[in-house]
Amino acid sequence: MNQGALYCALGSFELDEAIYQDSDKFFVDDWRQTESAHDIKPLISRGVITAQNLTGELADVVAGRIPGRTAASETIVVRTEGMAVQDIALAHWTWRAARDAGMITTIPL
């Protein structure tokens, strides 16, 4: 594991369990959904990952309720399940950025 790295697990079985254990911070998109994921459930049952390992949920970082990275040396793991609300938020952000850059064209119906 590299000091200061950001590991983003977007699917199943992407990270070695040692990365979860040795990270400084561990974020998920939704803990209740993540803890029932087929690749995470065995890690929880063996005590590799616990609710105490969890730094927080991504929404709390985005909203400023908890800090994300606070030091360049921190190793951070982000494990997402992929929630539809994230896709919608990203699409909205992309549309606004395109609109603000003058890249939106309206087509009459």
Instruction: Please give the structure tokens belonging to residue 15.
Output: 């990270």
Look at residue 93 and tell me if it is in a domain: yes
Residue 51: its pLDDT value, please?
85
Instruction: Please give the structure tokens belonging to residue 90.
Output: 């990203």
Q: Is the pTM of this model over 0.85?
A: no
Look at residue 86 and tell me if it is in a domain: yes
Look at residue 12 and tell me if it is in a domain: yes
Look at residue 107 and tell me if it is in a domain: no
The mean pLDDT of 73-80, rounded to a whole number, is 94
Look at residue 69 and tell me if it is in a domain: yes
Look at residue 1 and tell me if it is in a domain: no
User: Residues 15, 7: contact at Cβ < 8 Å?
Assistant: yes
Q: Say which CATH number the domain at 30 has.
A: 3.40.50.720
- Give yes or no for residue 66 having a pLDDT over 90: yes
Residue 79: its pLDDT value, please?
92
- Give yes or no for residue 86 having a pLDDT over 80: no
Residue 1: its pLDDT value, please?
72
89 pLDDT tier (thresholds 50, 70, 90): confident
Domains: count for the chain: 1
- Burial group, residue 54, by CB count within 10 angstroms (0-12, 13-18, 19+): middle
Domain that holds residue 50: 6-100
